[in-house]
Structure 1
Amino acid sequence: MIEEYPMGKVAREDMLFEFKCVVAAPVVRYMQNTLGEERARSIVTSTSMNWDYLTNPNNWISFDYFCRLLKSMVAETGDPMSPFIASKTCTDPKAYKAIGLVITKLGTPATLYRLVTQFNYLWDKVCKWRMLEHKQNSCKVEVIYKNHKQDLNNCLVIQGCLAASPTFFGLPPAEVSHTECATEAGSSCIYDITWASKPARINSLIGLVAGVVFGLIIVAILWPAGPASWIILFLCALTGQFAGRLLDYKEELARQYGHTEAQLETILETNTAIEKLNQELQLMVEERTEELTKANERLKRALIEQKKSEEHAIKAERQAAIGVLAAGMAHEINNPVNAIRLSIQTLLKKTDKDSKSLVLLENAEKATVRCARIINDLLTFARNNERISAVDLKEVLQKSVNVFRAEQQNSIEINLDIEKDLPVVNVDSGQMQQAFINLMMNAGDAMQGKGNIDISYRREGDNIHIDHKDTGPGISEELQARIFDPFFSTKRDGSSKGLGLAITAELVHRNGGHIKVSSSPDAGACFTLTFPITSTNTDNTDFYEKNTNGVLNEREIRN
């Protein structure tokens, strides 16, 4: 028992939409009749094709595979004319299933050849057939190959089919001759086909008429003979009537046959039109679907851009309003604070060092210094008057640490880890010092005056990175959306006004950098500031939005 070739292993290039498997049906039938079922299956398996797939007339195979099948059949049979002989089985309706039954009803070889050239594309997508000449008992057919090279075995198959066509109607095979062959040169084969006409039935009719006339003569001669002559006359008349009825039947059959042939041709033409309309409709649906998909994508992008623009506009308006409010408040508060500070400083000069009031006055002076710094933060947040220059951030960091230590009497240890020979960056040194101090103040508040702050300063590519780590309680994920919002604070006792980190982010942005935060509960927080080494004093709004929006959605800065 021959094991069939698995369908899943059949090459995709062997199943191209070029030949319908009905074309291979005569070849398969010939191999079955000549070589037997088992050897026929073996040949098909050797060509890497599944038997059930090949014998299904509704499936498709490629031109190259069909030629390979013919070559295997020739090698197995040892007969180079086997493709020609095999194709003659196309006259058996069983070889073509329903198509064969339709062909037997077409009427004449002339009609058959004409319809084959018109509708061959239904089962053959490789060749284009043209009727060059069409006569009563002969025709000339051209088969054109645009994208394939004609194969000798395939040419023999075509000749066999053309020669066998008249045998559908009980006629001898047609004579087929080549006037041009694509296997030798050119891109087309031209076949001259000649066939015999259907035998006429005029002789039988003449015989009937002759029989009637002969009967009349006999009646005339035998009339005197009596009743026998009447019987003979009746039989002759009956014979004539029967002959006339035969003629009527023949004419009726001819009319019915012509009507059926016309209907068949109309059906084939209608099928062609429907197939063309289906293809056009499918193309229109695909084009429309593609247009709708593109339009939908454009609409989505437009909505996203509109949403971003609205968010930027709202944020800009809010920042502007806050800036105006902050500037007004700072100017109104600054003068009274300065007056209080001067008064305290005067009292300090007049107070004895041993006085109990000295400590209270010193604490009051520190409070006024803190108020002055908050006012300065508000003014910095409200205005945008940077003094950009080439700055060594190592020096700015060291000054910021010194200021923080002078202002904060606590147990916070600050460790600096700075690489040597780092390049300068273009920033406002005053604004950067304020940003660094704000980060340290934020960490000090979070650690409640006890802990470590580790600051590292390094270069990565074209950027300078500053990592500010603390050992505080870390940051939860509940407050991520409000990281840089002004006046936002996690402290409920009112000890913080929520400006430190908002101002820090604004200052970093103004100087061409961006800030991000990484944190987890009970593991402290790390603020990373990044500045381009080649940064200039330009509008960095797009850069800031690109590099901070993601942080706002992932991190939380505590204040």
Structure 2
Amino acid sequence: MRPSGEKILQSKKHPRDDRKELGFDSHHQTKFEILSALIKIGTAIGFMPIELKTSLQFFVEETKKLFDAYGCAIFSLNESMNFDLVYAGQTDMGKQLFTSCKPNECIVIRDELPFILKNTKRKDKRCRGFEFDGKVKSYACLPISTGKKLVGILTICSSRKHAFPQDHLEMMLSVATMAASVIQRAQMFHKIEEEKRRIERANKEINKLNTDLETKIEDLEEAQNQIIQTEKLAVAGRLAAGVAHEVNNPIGIIINRIECLQSEAQEKGVSDDLIKDLGTIGKYALRISKIVEDLSIFSRTTYSEPDFTKIDINDIMIDVCFLVEQKIRKKKIRLIKKLSPESLFVMGDSGRLEQVFINIIENAIHAISGNGSIIVSTKKENKFIQTKISDSGTGILHEHLNKIYDPFFTTKEVGKGTGLGLPISHAIVKDHNASIGVNSRINKGTTFTITFPKASELNNE
């Protein structure tokens, strides 16, 4: 039993004592220390940045410490490595050695063999052309090869003679191999980065080509749709002109004779049933007359040349709203005006634009059953003038949206629409170098947006 509080004394051992116990002599101990240092250098380099010169600078500094050298240098023999010399030491010996080295007189460069000179005062014909300052007494030169290609030379210099015994050659070759792996690693990452940049450039080019292609396809589809619409309007315009010409006069005569017959029937006391029948005939004759009138307007819109002047779109909207308010006075529909307080000038035909806005508003009135509202707004949008007509009606089916500008297409019941209102409006808008768009949701309502270019400064004067 030990007395309470007695301390147990233990001797502390140095790691070198453990190696002595294992039978390490000084020679093996030196090799063990060099090997440990090599492992340390290799581990550190593995975590260093991939920039080559930075890694090699660390490498030569650690190698100098490892062999307790006067200086250590790596010389590049490969132009693609972007450096000439990496050096750690006391003087400018590295640059002197590099500039004076003659490849045909150096066994390391010529034959890719290691070379150790134990005493610089004794010249060796196997390696000539090196120049050192007076403090260098011995040195070792080792080839750095990646695969079958010599890429550099590792030189370790000492201020002591016989500083590099022959049995250290294996260790020095390991250092040179490690330097080669550092260079190879950097070259591999460089190639990867180059390939990455090449792929990124290719992807950008492909994305740009795809974007350009999509834009061209959209432009082509738009141009194709415009051509189709223009052809439809042209055909419908020719048909409308022919029908209007052939039908207008006869229907005018029919309406006139019906009015005369109605007057005579009342004077002669004809039966109420006959008078009622005449009224029905007259109603549908007027319906035919309205269709002929629309056909005439459509044909004139399609073929006639516009006569434009500078007009304020707000003035047109005010006139249109006045006319519409008379129509909806007895309906439960509110007309809300949100007109811009400033003048909005465009180049156009006021009569035709009134017709466009009235057509759209009349469609809105027809789409509202019971209570509802129609909002008319104008505003300036950059270099454009924008008008919107929104309603809270039943909306337009998605499959009908691409047909609403087709002549004679209508969703109204028979006798309620000719299918010419929106085609006429579309043609007028295009004549004004403007655009018309529609956004509609079932049971939520529809919004027509017409965008005009502003009158130019020249026309404003």
Deviation of 1:318 (Å): 2.9
Tell me which of 481, 484, 489 is aligned to 2:405.
484
Contact 1:422 1:458 in 2 (8 A): no
Which among 154, 161, 178 is matched to residue 130 of structure 2? 178
Note the C-alpha offset of 1:323: 1.6
Of the three residues 425, 428, 432, the one matched with 2:349 is 428
Query: How do 1:467-482 and structure 2 match up within 5 A?
Result: 467-482=388-403
**Against the structure 1 CA distance between its residues 408 and 162, is the aligned structure 2 distance closer, same or farther, given a 3 Å change threshold?**
closer
Q: For the structure 1 residues 533 and 494, does the alpha-carbon distance in structure 2 shift closer, same or farther, using more than 3 Å as the test?
A: same
Q: Find the aligned partners of 1:511 and 1:444 in 2 and give their Cα distance.
A: 25
Q: Distance in 1 between matches of 2:291 and 2:53?
A: 91
1:500, CA displacement in angstroms? 1.3
- 1:415 matched to which residue of 2? 336
- Cα distance, 1:483 vs structure 2: 3.4
Counterpart residue number, 2:305: 385
2:45 maps to 49
Q: Shift of residue 437 of structure 1? A: 1.4
- 2:247 is equivalent to residue 324 of structure 1: no
1:73 aligns with 2:69: no
Aligned 8 A contact 2:408 2:420 in 1: yes
Two-structure CA RMSD over aligned residues (Å): 5.3
User: Aligned equivalents of 1:32 and 1:533: distance in 2?
Assistant: 90
For residue 317 of structure 1, what is the amino acid of its counterpart? E
2:45 corresponds to which letter in structure 1?
M
- Aligned partners of 1:344, 1:448: CA distance in 2, in Å? 34
Greater per-residue helix proportion = 1
Q: CA deviation at 1:326?
A: 1.6
Cα shift at 1:534: 1.9
Whole-angstrom distance in 1 between the partners of 2:303 and 2:69: 97
Q: Deviations over 1:192-250 (max 9, x none)?
A: xxxxxxxxxxxxxxxxxxxxxxxxxxxxxxxxxxxxxxxxxxxxxxxxxxxxxxxxxxx
For 2:374 and 2:328, how far apart are their aligned partners in 1?
Answer: 14
Aligned partners of 1:440, 1:374: CA distance in 2, in Å?
A: 17
Larger Rg, first or second structure (1 or 2): 1
Distance 2:251 2:328 in 1: 20
Q: 1:457: which partner in 2?
A: 378
Change beyond 3 A, Cα 1:464–1:348? farther
Is the 8 Å Cα contact of residues 348 and 432 (structure 2) preserved in structure 1?
yes
SS of 1:400's equivalent in the other structure is helix
* Mapped contact 2:338–2:376 kept (Cα < 8 A): yes
Matches within 5 A, 1:98-109: none
SS of corresponding position for 1:485: coil
1:394 is aligned, of 310, 314, 320, to 314
Provide the rounded CA distance (Å) in 1 between the counterparts of 2:244 and 2:32.
108
> 1:514 & 1:166 partners in 2: Cα distance?
85
Letter in 2 for 1:400: V
* 2:453 corresponds to 1:532: yes
Change (3 A) 1:300 1:392: closer
**Aligned partner letter, 2:246:** E
Aligned length in residues: 342
SS at match of 2:247: helix
Shift in CA distance, 425/304, structure 1 to aligned 2, threshold 3 Å = closer
Residue 151 of structure 2 corresponds to residue 151 of structure 1 = no
The alpha-carbon distance between structure 1 residues 311 and 472, as it changes in their structure 2 partners (threshold 3 A), is closer
Q: In structure 2, do the counterparts of structure 1 residues 470 and 314 end up closer, same or farther at CA, with 3 Å as the change threshold?
A: closer
Q: Which runs of 5+ in 2 are unaligned?
A: 1-28, 117-121, 134-151, 156-190
SS where residue 482 of structure 1 aligns? coil
Pairwise CA distance, 1:370: 3.7
Partner of 1:503: 424
1:527 Cα deviation from its structure 2 partner: 1.0
The within-5 A match list for 1:23-38 is 33=31, 35-38=33-36
CA contact (8 A) 1:414 1:455 kept: yes
Q: Could you tell me how far apart the structure 2 residues matched to 1:369 and 1:476 are?
A: 30
Q: Structure 1 residues 348 and 398, CA, compared in 2 at 3 Å: closer, same or farther? A: farther
Aligned equivalents of 1:38, 1:504: Cα separation in 2: 89
Cα distance in 1, alignment partners of residues 448 and 388 from structure 2: 6
Q: Partner letter of residue 430 of structure 1? A: G
TM-score (norm 1): 0.48
2-side partners of 1:406 and 1:35: how far apart?
A: 106
Percentage identity across aligned positions?
20
Shift of 1:161: 8.2
Letter of the 1:165 counterpart? P
Q: Whole-Å Cα distance in 1 between the matches of residues 378 and 213 of structure 2?
A: 45
Distance 2:94 2:317 in 1: 90
Alignment of 1:77-156 (within 5 A): 77=66, 79-81=68-70, 83=72, 125-126=80-81, 147-149=83-85, 151=87, 155=94
Quick one: distance in 1 between partners of 2:458 and 2:418? 30
- Offset of 1:446 from its aligned partner? 1.8
What's the secondary structure of 2:242's corresponding residue?
helix
Say whether residues 1:446 and 2:367 are aligned partners.
yes
Give the letter aligned to residue 397 of structure 1.
M
Which SS does the other structure have where 2:338 is aligned?
strand
Question: Which whole-Å deviations, capped at 9, do the CAs of 1:385-430 have from their partners, x for residues lacking one?
Answer: 2120112223322333444456678514433232323232111111
| Aligned with 1:165 (options 114, 130, 133) | 114
Q: Residue 467 of structure 1 contacts residue 529 of structure 1 at CA under 8 Å; is this kept in 2?
A: yes
Q: Call closer, same or farther: CA 1:390–1:366 in 2, change over 3 Å.
A: farther
User: What is the CA–CA distance in structure 1 between the aligned matches of 2:299 and 2:419, rounded to whole Å?
Assistant: 15
Q: Aligned runs of 1:259-408 on 2, under 5 Å?
A: 311-342=225-256, 360=279, 367=287, 370-371=290-291, 373-404=293-324
- Residues 365, 484 of structure 1: alpha-carbon distance in 2 compared, 3 angstrom cutoff: closer
Whether the 8 Å contact between 2:310 and 2:348 is mirrored in structure 1 is yes
Q: Distance in 2 between matches of 1:396 and 1:369?
A: 27
2: CA distance, partners of 1:368 / 1:333: 9
Q: How far apart, CA to CA, are the structure 1 residues paired with 2:258 and 2:370?
A: 26
- Secondary structure at the residue paired with 1:481? coil
Q: Distance in 1 between matches of 2:327 and 2:253?
A: 20
TM-score of the pair, normalised by structure 2: 0.57
